[in-house]
Structure 1
């Protein structure tokens, strides 16, 4: 499949020669490798004096050519300070690569889930990051020319620049919003367990409200420094969502806060962030706010609506992987790789 013309002409982004990228990454030297994902390895490079990140599509990647072009098409048309910026692509022979701005502080998960690094992010920085992600997602849902559902919002898809500005990345699984926001159905559920909304994980129905659910989970993770995919409480087998809900019901939400933040936090902002986070993870999509409402609620003084019991609230023996279970739903398995929902023909 030859994309070489389409990138330069239709997508209006620079098309780089393979030789240029090889030189920039020192022939994809192992010491230039800075990460690995479902797409393939990521390398740091220097191109015309500018630091770049190169995502190289692996031949064994679960994210194939369609996801590659998906990312090129969408990111090329999106411009916002809280979205990663694409600089171009390289398509030559069997090689397919995406070239991005290099973000030196890496991904958010490497800070909030690491016992040492988590101390780098005090509360003002975390609240700033929460707001940046919220504004980036609001742009995707309603302000960009394409109106995008990301479908894989999670801590390691948030990159941080030198000033700790958050940038939403990885648009390989993104879809264009329907105008009426009703959403769409798929029998190929993609994403990461712990972040998927109930209606999407179980029935393949996605909409902007699926992203809102993921954002709510992410917000609770940023506040707590804990992952929703692991058992969160030593005395009760609760995931983060279940623990946050129990504390909220008992009027003890501030106990969810990462212990290292006690000296730097604004109690009002913490309680408000947890409240908005729980509103974003409501069971029914209709009960979740849209992102413009979430941004408004985070930054105003008004009384928040009361949250109801969230979706995928887990108590009992929550497995360490963070997979969810509930007797009221059909059996479903969520993994790191795309999930296929089998339907009778």
Structure 2
């Protein structure tokens, strides 16, 4: 009976202080940023996509190691570990997670100084290669990440500066070898470890920028596995050749008797199974929460019609109460939308964040209920305020001018995004939402890549500008878009009655000179010749100049 008690005693010691078990040479402390493995990491072989699952688990483990190295680098100034310590730390790290096999990750190769190039010898070498001015600029641009709930703009600014600094670091080193990106991230994270969220914030924002090639030994395992698979395939093929004629004779009668409806049902089942398998493919969308199908149903009361907000281009919007108690707008994707397009939409929208764009909070990727979860804008869409039944307060002139500027800022951000320039593709009143402060946010965008669009009839930045001009006219007049563009053009270019175009609900409470300036701008945006339309930076500047005069 002594043995179980002894085992219990040592187990209790470990549970009380698990991360303080270090070997003799490993100086890293894994307690501050512990590795939390996902479910698939415990049985990678059973995963539908074992290679992708293994890579994801290895990346998560490496992130925990590099965060610990950043803490250590603050004092040691070393961005990487010496080979002996790297081996010891990877062994220690594995012993803390003995339920997970990380041996194929080759962790010691990624954290060891023996595998890097000269650009990443230590923190001081990184700073000297960049120059103090550029390094200080990087710290400044990433300063917003020290907040516990840093904004998307903070990450956007840091990411752009990091990429520029990394390119400069590689040019200074004269090579594109591996290690520069990791060294720059560790150096940056180590610069302010006293700030509670700094290390976590920098890694959360920049970790996806690091590209890790996997160890060569995996290729041998893959070759052996491939050989076994080939042998299995040949064996199965031979068996099929033998038994197919027999099965054919046995089942021919049953197949002939099966109705076309039954065959169609079988096809649907197979298709659904394939889509469900595809939906489990691992992909990276930073800072998004993955909701379950049950959570989506509970949040919307099984997508009750009473919770329906509106219908968008690719799905219906419902108001939902999330597990945290927060209200959110849940877009249930239409059945006709392909799964890969749905995933692509998630990943693109996860990277495009701005105060005047509706933020994507999370998603549910089950084939039966594919959903995107957005922030909820309590005051609904702009059409309701301008063209509705007038049950809401009338938007004042000051409100309309500010909303116009906020729409322009969101659209300008898309057109000039440093990560990937986009077009919105569907600018209209119903896709402009107002939050509790009546701040405008663009919603339900197609978010197409601008370089893929052109004179073939698809959306372009010039089309966005035209549609923005129509929205401006509606904000000014409170009218539907039918014939509005032509009437405004007649009034501005041919000396028509401009004042008569003003929304009568304003009751004359606006400044006529400012009204005329914005009306002229809207007409310029809607000119038939795309080349004559202004860019969003010009439009935004003109609107902001008008606001200053208010």
What is the TM-score with the length of structure 1 in the denominator?
0.72
Match of 1:26 in 2: 301
* Alignment equivalent of 1:102, drawn from 345, 370, 376: 376
Match of 2:221 in 1: none
Deviation of 1:25 (Å): 1.8
Match of 1:57 in 2: 333
Q: Secondary structure at the match of 1:120?
A: coil
Alignment RMSD (CA, Å): 2.1
Deviates more, 1:42-51 or 1:114-123: 114-123
Deviation of 1:292 (Å): 0.5
Write out per-residue CA displacement over residues 142-191 of structure 1, whole angstroms, 9 at most, x where no aligned residue.
135211111111111111111111110112x331122xxx95244xxxxx
Match of 2:402 in 1: 128
Q: Secondary structure at the match of 1:129?
A: helix
Match of 1:210 in 2: 463
* Alignment equivalent of 2:450, drawn from 177, 183, 194: 177
Using a 3 Å threshold, how does the CA distance of structure 1 residues 66 and 112 change in structure 2: closer, same or farther?
farther
Once residues 395 and 443 of structure 2 are traced to their aligned partners in structure 1, the CA distance between those partners, rounded to angstroms, is 20
Once residues 75 and 116 of structure 1 are traced to their aligned partners in structure 2, the CA distance between those partners, rounded to angstroms, is 33
Deviation of 1:300 (Å): 2.5
Structure that is richer in strand per residue: 1
- Structure 1 unaligned segments of length 5 or more: list them: 187-203, 231-238, 302-345
Deviation of 1:268 (Å): 2.4
- Larger CA Rg, structure 1 vs 2: 2
What is the TM-score with the length of structure 2 in the denominator?
0.46
Match of 2:526 in 1: 281
Deviation of 1:70 (Å): 4.2
Once residues 264 and 65 of structure 1 are traced to their aligned partners in structure 2, the CA distance between those partners, rounded to angstroms, is 50
Match of 1:41 in 2: 316
Match of 1:167 in 2: 441
Match of 1:85 in 2: 359
Once residues 392 and 300 of structure 2 are traced to their aligned partners in structure 1, the CA distance between those partners, rounded to angstroms, is 30
- Structure 2 unaligned segments of length 5 or more: list them: 1-274
Question: Does the 8 Å contact 1:149/1:207 carry over to 2?
Answer: yes
Indicate the structure whose relative CO is greater, using CA pairs within 8 Å and at least 6 residues apart: 1
Once residues 280 and 78 of structure 1 are traced to their aligned partners in structure 2, the CA distance between those partners, rounded to angstroms, is 25
Deviation of 1:79 (Å): 1.1
Deviation of 1:37 (Å): 2.9
Once residues 417 and 522 of structure 2 are traced to their aligned partners in structure 1, the CA distance between those partners, rounded to angstroms, is 22
Once residues 28 and 284 of structure 1 are traced to their aligned partners in structure 2, the CA distance between those partners, rounded to angstroms, is 44
Once residues 77 and 164 of structure 1 are traced to their aligned partners in structure 2, the CA distance between those partners, rounded to angstroms, is 25
Once residues 537 and 526 of structure 2 are traced to their aligned partners in structure 1, the CA distance between those partners, rounded to angstroms, is 16
Q: Secondary structure at the match of 2:314?
A: coil
Using a 3 Å threshold, how does the CA distance of structure 1 residues 299 and 38 change in structure 2: closer, same or farther?
closer
Once residues 4 and 219 of structure 1 are traced to their aligned partners in structure 2, the CA distance between those partners, rounded to angstroms, is 43
Deviation of 1:36 (Å): 2.4
Q: Do structure 1's residue 141 and structure 2's residue 141 form an aligned pair? A: no
Deviation of 1:102 (Å): 0.9
Q: Secondary structure at the match of 2:416?
A: helix
Deviation of 1:11 (Å): 5.2
Q: Do structure 1's residue 257 and structure 2's residue 533 form an aligned pair? A: no
Q: Secondary structure at the match of 1:184?
A: coil
Deviates more, 1:138-147 or 1:9-18: 9-18
Question: Does the 8 Å contact 1:124/1:264 carry over to 2?
Answer: no
Question: Does the 8 Å contact 1:131/1:295 carry over to 2?
Answer: yes
* Alignment equivalent of 1:295, drawn from 512, 520, 540: 540
Question: Does the 8 Å contact 1:103/1:159 carry over to 2?
Answer: yes
* Alignment equivalent of 2:477, drawn from 195, 211, 224: 224
Write out per-residue CA displacement over residues 246-287 of structure 1, whole angstroms, 9 at most, x where no aligned residue.
211215322211011134212222111101101111111111
